Structure 1
Amino acid sequence: MAGISSLGVGSGIFSADLVDQLVNAERQPAELRLNRREGEAQAKISAFGALRSALEAMKSPLEALAEPEGLKALSATSSNESTAAVSVDSAVASRGSYSVNVTQLAQAQSLASGVFADSDSTTVGEGTMTFTVNGVSTDITVDSSNNTLQGLADSINDANAGLSAGVVDTGSGFRLVLSADDTGLQNAIQVSVTDADGNNADMAGLSQFAFDGAASNLAETVAAKDALLEVNGIAVSRPTNSIEGVVAGVTFDVAAIGSTNISVERDADAVAERVREFVDKYNELEKVIGKYAGFNSVSGSGGMLTGDSTIRNMERDIRAGLTTIPAGLETSSVRSLADLGIKTDPATGKLEFDDAIFKEKLEADPAAVTAIFAGQSGGEGISDKISQSIESYVGSDGLFSTRTEGLNKTLDQIRDQRDRLDIRMQSYRERLVSQFTAADSLISQLNSTGNYVSQQLAAIAPQPSSRNS
């Protein structure tokens, strides 16, 4: 009897579709369980990622407040900025007022040669020119390759000797012009020559470019000058018009002769803004915690991480930092964030910031306010304390990394279980096909046998006789 090549051919009962239905029915409970576990693990990884981002966002404002300079923002103003503008480095400067009287601006020296008929064909001599600027000397060799005005200018510019050179067309001839790169007497230009004609001081050959005290064969068109000013009546000179180092952390940028009054004051608004940034980042963290670990008492439902011990401990550690009283402030009138107008809303867990109170306390006792955030005498302020707590959770070996690694291992296990399920379902399918094929063959044989018996019975059954009429 011919074999059955497809399920159901012999019996019409067993089919590939029936096998698929049975296999799917067997697979579904295990697959749903794996899907649920995988979804939960991925959701928790995502939640820990969001919490990590919120915690790391707090680090920047905390780092700014962990340094005394972070609470020492200063602003500076000039009553006459056309005479002198002012900038301030809060890390170095202190409060103060300064009267500034500018009597002279710094200038860069310029020198000019005599007049030549052209710039690129008339020879100017050969030998060596030595340029000295601010104590640094640079030699330039002049020969047949560069012994014109333009050749000299190009060689000087290529030498990086602290000055630049150019050729000016006056309309009645050409002049070599030398200009110091920087202002001030210390950057005045000296030019000495070793002239091929043997005379280093006359007005022939390279000697006509000498300007070194022994010979002044160039014309000084702009004199080198230092900036001169008086700060609170004290005479000051600098080689540039950017006056640094007279008052620590304060720079005067003088632009014209005249007087101005400079005021350096604490910028309470800037300090308050730094504190507000910290408050805002903390509140963003609370929002993320509420999303993933909060509990809705009305609906009776919680987030993916509700009740998670890691999250509970993180909240506890950070809130402990918020209520810290730094060492040395136990008896101070300003000793905690609450005294600075930073309080926790018990309904939401978020911080509320009253910047008016903060600025009042900052003005009254800046040292205590600084100590609250940055600590004092080696003691730890709240910024460092909270930063350390954050690092214990988001650091490379922190608790969030440990939890995330565990969840990723769970996903690996789920993938392994899916592979084993696929193997088991394939084996189950093969077993069903084998059983159904055998049953289909048996039914086909029974059907064939039944048909044969029916045919034999029909053959031996008496036939009705015919009568001749």
Structure 2
Amino acid sequence: MPIVTSDTGISSTLGSYSGITSHEIDKLIEAESTPLLRMNNQKSLLLEQQNAWKDVRLRLNTFSKNIETLQKNETWNSKVATSSKPDKVTISGTDKAAEDNYDITVDQLATSSKLVSGEIEKLDDKTIYDELGTSGQFEFESKKEDGEPITIEIDESDSLKDITNKINAESKDTGVKATIVNGHLVLSNVDTGESELSFTGSEDLLNDLGINTDSTTNTPQYTEGQNAKFTIDGIAVERPSNNVSDVIEGVTIHLHDTTEDAVRVGLVTDLEKPIEAINAFVEQYNSLMDFINEKSDIGDPSKKDNKPGPLAGDSTANRLQNSLKLAVTGLPDENPHTTFLYPAELGISVDKTGYLSIDEEKLRSALDEDAKNVQNFFYHTEKIVVDKKDELGNVMLDDEGNPIRETQTKEFGYTVKLNDLMNAYLKDEAGKKSIYTTKDESFEKSIKQLDERIDRFTEKLDKKRDYYVRTFSRLDQAMMQAEQQMSFLITQLDAFSTK
């Protein structure tokens, strides 16, 4: 057998007699590979189209989030807090808080019950990081559901710092924390208010740590916690915390220090938040339209090397673009909760190409005049009672023949159709796939089929190459044998003629 040395696996000796080498065989295979080239180009285009749709989906997801932001109550009703003395009293508010001002006077801040140890004699010649040489147990009441007491073991090898670390590791469940202040162990309740600091321990351990309240020689200092006391608009309030959220709906009052005079605090709606949300909505919409336009560009068909975009001629992409334009420019549904009919009345206009622009001054003016009216234009919901229907659309009746009623949420506003459009393209539901999922599965199926055809055709070419190699190898061998026989005959004839 000849030695195989070429990249294609064809013997380098092929063609010695016939003149047909691996180069000629490669040419023959190349001539028959046009369908393979066509299939590979088709696969590359499908992959390019699939990737373009993945990019479309990412942009649609972002745009969908922009729409959802415009539907959230906190976008329109977030509050900005003010305070005449922020070092004394501040407030914060949720979207449920009303715009208002309050006068608050702080008479007393809430504090925690605290126990400061007496002298810790074992620390006389040691640091807080050295072995303290005391042992025993602490037992704390538990805040866990099972209510089982929590026991902390202290070993002679533990330092004072180790002891505080062990106590603090259980603070979440015991409600007690530990610190070291100038060589004294300080135990205090995590929560403020009039609550006792409760724990027990081994008598020797408590004595060694200077926290034995029964001791007469080294008595710790105990301070009872107290509630916060303040007045709001003249109404006296007492709470166990300095952060009070149950006095005004949606408002948390933060007490920082006592006051002599009333502190004026207030909440106003943050109009910058909806403006930012609307700007983000417009920018993402235009970015999405830009991308689809770019990927759908047919280029210049008159040019020989023209390369259309991967979505050129894609009916689904065209339908998406047209649906988006219609959704932002089409006639609104009936919405009795707002006086606005069109986005242009709020400064959001659409040009002939379908791109959005925003007149921020006009939008700000509308928000200043009636922010709730603007919010309702974009999105509003209400509960309605309707007849319950079966899968065929028939009204369902009770045993007495009366219609069964149910409560539903009805949506109104500019963003409703846009959100429905996003869901149609992005959201898979039971028994119904999204447009994107259907599109992507179609790409996957086509690519898989092409891969199978490419594999079959490649296998066919490999067999054809082997056929050519065998055929021309036999031809070379036959020609070599013929040449050898001819040489033998000539030699015999020459020998015969000399006799």
- Regarding TM over 0.5, the answer is yes
Q: Is 2:192 the counterpart of 1:183?
A: yes
Q: Distance in 1 between matches of 2:221 and 2:474?
A: 116
Q: 1:127, CA displacement in angstroms?
A: 13
Structure 1 residues 100 and 327: alpha-carbon distance in aligned structure 2, compared to 1, 3 A threshold: farther
Instruction: State the identity %.
Output: 25
Q: Distance in 1 between matches of 2:464 and 2:121?
A: 105
- Report what 2:422 is aligned to: 390
8 A contact 2:335–2:413 mirrored in 1? no
Structure possessing the higher radius of gyration over alpha carbons: 1
- Report what 2:465 is aligned to: 429
- Report what 2:103 is aligned to: 99
Q: Is 2:44 the counterpart of 1:39?
A: yes
Structure 1 residues 328 and 233: alpha-carbon distance in aligned structure 2, compared to 1, 3 A threshold: farther
Q: 1:219, CA displacement in angstroms?
A: 7.5
Q: Distance in 2 between matches of 1:374 and 1:13?
A: 81
Q: Distance in 2 between matches of 1:265 and 1:51?
A: 39
Q: Distance in 2 between matches of 1:46 and 1:191?
A: 65
Q: 1:361, CA displacement in angstroms?
A: 1.2
Unmatched segments (≥5 aa) in structure 2: 1-10, 125-135, 204-209, 383-409
Structure 1 residues 298 and 358: alpha-carbon distance in aligned structure 2, compared to 1, 3 A threshold: farther
Alpha-carbon displacement from aligned partner over 1:217-270 (angstroms, at most 9, x marks no partner): 977653422111111111111111112121112112111122311121111112
The correspondence of residues 262-277 of structure 1 with structure 2, limited to 5 A, is 262-277=265-280
8 A contact 2:114–2:188 mirrored in 1? yes
Q: Is 2:51 the counterpart of 1:50?
A: no
Question: Which structure has the higher relative contact order (CA within 8 Å, separation 6+)?
Answer: 1
Structure 1 residues 327 and 222: alpha-carbon distance in aligned structure 2, compared to 1, 3 A threshold: farther
8 A contact 1:103–1:229 mirrored in 2? yes
Unmatched segments (≥5 aa) in structure 1: 121-125, 196-205, 212-216, 464-469
Q: 1:384, CA displacement in angstroms?
A: 3.5
Q: 1:78, CA displacement in angstroms?
A: 0.8
Q: Which amino acid aligns with 2:192?
A: T
- Report what 1:415 is aligned to: 451
Using structure 1 for the length normalisation, give the TM-score.
Answer: 0.75
- Report what 2:310 is aligned to: 304
Alpha-carbon displacement from aligned partner over 1:333-363 (angstroms, at most 9, x marks no partner): 423322211112324x321122221121122
Using structure 2 for the length normalisation, give the TM-score.
Answer: 0.71
8 A contact 2:347–2:358 mirrored in 1? yes
Structure 1 residues 51 and 263: alpha-carbon distance in aligned structure 2, compared to 1, 3 A threshold: same
Q: 1:109, CA displacement in angstroms?
A: 2.6
8 A contact 2:88–2:255 mirrored in 1? yes
Q: 1:33, CA displacement in angstroms?
A: 0.7
- Report what 2:242 is aligned to: 241
Q: Which amino acid aligns with 1:427?
A: K
Structure 1 residues 450 and 266: alpha-carbon distance in aligned structure 2, compared to 1, 3 A threshold: same
Considering only aligned residues, what root-mean-square deviation do their CA atoms show, in Å? 4.7
- Report what 2:343 is aligned to: 337
8 A contact 1:326–1:379 mirrored in 2? no
Q: Distance in 1 between matches of 2:442 and 2:197?
A: 71
The correspondence of residues 111-130 of structure 1 with structure 2, limited to 5 A, is 111=115
Structure 1 residues 85 and 421: alpha-carbon distance in aligned structure 2, compared to 1, 3 A threshold: same
Alpha-carbon displacement from aligned partner over 1:111-170 (angstroms, at most 9, x marks no partner): 4677797689xxxxx99999899xx9997999x999xxx9xx889878864445679889
Structure 1 residues 68 and 139: alpha-carbon distance in aligned structure 2, compared to 1, 3 A threshold: closer
8 A contact 1:112–1:177 mirrored in 2? yes
8 A contact 1:167–1:176 mirrored in 2? yes
Q: 1:80, CA displacement in angstroms?
A: 0.7
